[in-house]
Amino acid sequence: MFSRLLKPRTTYNSNLSEFVRNAKSREKKRVYARVIDKAIEAQNEVIERQKATS
């Protein structure tokens, strides 16, 4: 039982975690801005679809 507690866990890095840790600030800002723009666009589409059905 205690051996499970004492063994170090193997961790895996995702592409996202690698990006967050290693990308330069300029690159992060560019990617985050693009993601936010896409999210806003998707939200606006949902709002417009709801308006069309009401």
- Specify if 18 maps to a domain: no
Cα-based torsion angle of the residue sequence 2, 8, 13, 19 in order, rounded to the nearest 10 degrees: 110
**Model confidence at 11, in pLDDT bands (50, 70, 90)?**
confident
**Model confidence at 6, in pLDDT bands (50, 70, 90)?**
confident
- Specify if 39 maps to a domain: yes
Question: Can you give the residue range of the structural domain that contains 45?
Answer: 24-53
The structure's pTM equals 0.65
- Specify if 13 maps to a domain: no
Nearest CA-CA partner of 31 in 16, 44, 46, 41: 16
- Specify if 16 maps to a domain: no
Q: What angle do CA 27, 29, 34 make, to 5 degrees?
A: 100
Q: For residue 9, what pLDDT is reported?
A: 75
Q: For residue 12, what pLDDT is reported?
A: 82
- Specify if 8 maps to a domain: no
Instruction: Find the DSSP H helices in 1-54.
Output: 2-6, 15-22, 25-53
pLDDT single digits (tens) 12-52:
889 999 999 999 999 999 999 999 999 999 999 999 999 99
- Is the four-CA dihedral 34, 39, 42, 43 of positive or negative sign? negative
Counting the structural domains of the chain, the total is 1
